[in-house]
């Protein structure tokens, strides 16, 4: 019966997808993560984040768009604890993902005031274009 189904699907123009293995999934993720992303960086005053940690305005942390999170239980999401390297006008800073940013679109990120000041030179800009990579 499987042979017959394969012939019918092939005749109808459907191709069977290769099974996704953990190694092929990791390879695809690595390729996607190897490229720099660009987006707006803003700042926020953190507290208890989506990853279950409480942070303050001087911590080197980041909130990424909620679409990056995949787990039903955010405390166990693979994004929690990952590091990003954020770049702005020749300066860079490594930060840890601890929260979701519901107002962020695409590759926009939210950082603490101390990280924003360190990279942008002050809070006056409010929003700057940055690039960032997973570390």
Are the C-beta atoms of residues 78 and 93 closer than 8 Å to each other? no
pTM: 0.73
Instruction: Give domain limits for the chain.
Output: 36-134
pLDDT, one tens digit per residue, over 11-68 is 444 444 444 444 433 443 444 455 789 999 999 999 999 999 999 999 999 999 999 9
Q: Please, which residues bridge with residue 87 across strands?
A: 92, 131
Q: What CA–CA distance (Å, rounded) separates 101 from 12?
A: 44
CATH of domain 36-134: 2.40.40.10
């Amino acid at each position: 019966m499987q042979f017959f189904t394969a012939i019918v699907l092939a005749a109808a123009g459907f191709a069977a997808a290769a099974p996704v293995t953990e190694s092929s999934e990791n390879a695809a993720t690595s390729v996607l993560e190897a490229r720099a992303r660009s987006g707006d960086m803003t700042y926020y005053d953190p507290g208890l984040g989506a990853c279950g940690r409480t942070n303050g305005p001087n911590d080197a942390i980041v909130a990424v768009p909620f679409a990056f999170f995949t787990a039903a239980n955010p405390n166990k999401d693979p994004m929690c604890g990952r590091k990003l390297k954020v770049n702005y006008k020749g300066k860079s800073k490594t930060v840890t993902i601890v929260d979701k940013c519901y107002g962020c679109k695409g590759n926009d990120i939210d950082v603490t005031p101390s990280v924003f000041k360190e990279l942008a030179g002050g809070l006056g800009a409010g929003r700057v274009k940055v690039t960032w990579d997973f570390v």
